[in-house]
Each structure stands twice: as C-alpha cells, then as structure tokens.
Amino acid sequence: MLKINYKKLLIKKNKVPITCLTAYSKPLANILDGKVDLILIGDSLGTTLYGMKNTRSVTLEMMKNHGKAVVMNTKSSMTIIDMPYNTYRNKKEALKNALDILSFTKADFIKIETDKKNIDIVKYLTKNKIKVVSHIGVTPQKFSDFNKIKSVGKNTKDANNLLTLAKKLQDAGSKLIVLECINLHTSKKITNNLSIPTIGIGASKYCDGQVLVIDDILNLNPNTKKPKFIKNYYNIEKNIIKAVNSFAKEVKNKNFPSKKYSY
C-alpha cells in the first residue's frame, strides 16, 4: 500500500471521513498501519501507559522514544506526534524542540495545543517548514485535574471565538486542526468554514475525521473514568485475563512447558 500523503488528506475533506488512532509501540503501529489514515503518538501515553494523573509530566524524551518506535513501523499511514507540556512556550523553544523530535522520530507532523496566545508560534514553525497540527477547544495540557474538563463552544460568543481562532490558525499554516469536546453545531460551523481538514474528538460527526485513544476503544484500563465521547469497540481486558489465567493454571499444573515448547 502506498503511503498516504497530505494531498490525499486534503482531497478527503467533505468527502471521505479521515481516521486516526493513537499508538505508542511497535505492535500497535504494525496493526494500525494502513488501516487508519493517521497514527497519533499522543501525550495521552502519560495517563494510559505511565499512570499519570494528567499529561503535564510527559517529557520530550518519552515522546521521542515512543515516537521513533511507532514511525519506524509505519509505512502507509501518516504520523503525528504531540509536543509535550512546556516544550513550546516561545518561538525559539518551539522550533528547537520541534526539530529535535522530528529529526529523531521522522514523524510527518507535530501537534501543539493552541489558543490565541500562540498563533504566532504556529506561524513561525510553518515558516521554518515544520508541518503543524493545531489543537483547539478543550486542550488537556491546561488541566492538572481532568475531572474539571467540560465541553466548550456552547454559546454564541464561545462559538465565534473558536471559529475565529480556527481561521487564524489555518492562515498561520496549520495543516490540520483537532477539535476537542466542542459543541456539535460549533464544530460543524468551524469545519464548513475551513479549507483544511478538522479531526474531532468529542466534537461530533460533522468534523472531517475522528481520533480516539486506542486503549479506550479496546477497553484497556476499564476502571478509569472515561469521558462521554469514548466508545468501546472490544473488551480486550477479558481476553487478556483469560490468557493469563490459562497460563498460570498450566504452569501450576506443570502442563507448561511441555516437550513441544522445550529444547
């Protein structure tokens, strides 16, 4: 399968929904490659893999190492990698760290959580040939407590502010814009007013594409409180428990390893 390119993503806008899931390792990269348009190495790895309460403690080194593992095993899908918290506070810092993470991982895009205060950073990165995915609406890096996250864009003022922000980020050179937990009417309005694709997470079917954390759709970490927009597609935990119990039982009964599995 030929590698998806940005031109193909642009053609999909308003025609064919774009698919995106997260991956943090070689096995998942191999599984997702070519089955989704985009693979996101998200800073959500902080909560899903490392048990952090939020994403603020995720480091550049974590993102680089997981990112390299994913990109090395991705041949067809395009890859996006998150810039962690406090790694793009000004233009020079953003460029230095973006070049570092991209040269190490070879990802196609970097993603930064954006508001009106860092539009100039998107513009500066674009000017320096960095492909930027902007992320608006609910931006998790702003929260130390995820329980305080609420959807946005419900009233006219907020909706207009988000639309204005999205347009400015498009003009600044954003290649895609992630819309998180944004009211469906507002998401639709933003999507219809942009020439670049929008990728929704908790932002309705009216976006040009959808992204979810793969651990959530597989029901890993089932005891963690999940937001409204999560849909479980498979309960992998039950099958893992079954396999673990079978292994433990066979070992205790000295049925494993048999001659078949011995040298």
156 and 242, same domain (yes or no): no
118 shares a domain with 148:
yes
Q: Identify the weakest region by mean pLDDT among 72-76, 104-108, 201-205, 220-224.
A: 220-224
Question: Is 141 part of a structural domain of the chain?
Answer: yes
> What pLDDT does 2 receive?
84
Task: Give the model confidence (pLDDT) of 57-93 as tens digits.
Answer: 999 999 999 999 999 999 999 999 999 999 999 999 9
Q: Are residues 190 and 228 in the same domain?
A: yes
Same domain, 52 and 119: yes
| Statement to judge: residues 133 and 243 lie in one domain | no
Q: Are residues 169 and 241 in the same domain?
A: no
Tell me, yes or no, whether 70 and 39 share the same domain.
yes
Whether residue 1 lies inside any domain: the answer is no
**How far apart are the C-alpha atoms of 212 and 18, rounded to whole Å?**
12
CA-wise closest residue to 30 among 61, 74, 64: 74
Same domain membership, residue 128 and residue 11 = yes
Residues serving a catalytic function are 180
| Whether residue 189 sits in one domain with residue 240 | no
Predicted confidence at residue 226, as pLDDT, reads: 85
Tell me, yes or no, whether 53 lies in a domain: yes
80: closest CA among 99, 44, 106? 106
My answer on whether 253 and 204 are in the same domain is: no
pLDDT on residue 4: 95
pLDDT at 1 > cutoff 80: no
Does a structural domain hold residue 65?
yes
Q: Which residues pair with 21 in a beta bridge?
A: 39, 212
Residues 40 and 123 grouped into a single domain:
yes
Asked if residue 81 lies in contact with residue 106, where contact means CB atoms within 8 angstroms, the answer is no
Q: If phi over 0 gives left and psi between -120 and 50 gives alpha, with beta otherwise, what is residue 140?
A: alpha
Q: Does some domain include residue 109?
A: yes
Report residue 175 as tokens.
Answer: 């290649």
Q: Are residues 195 and 243 in the same domain?
A: no
Give the count of domains, the chain.
Answer: 2
CATH code for the domain of 94? 3.20.20.60
Show the domain range for 251.
Answer: 236-263
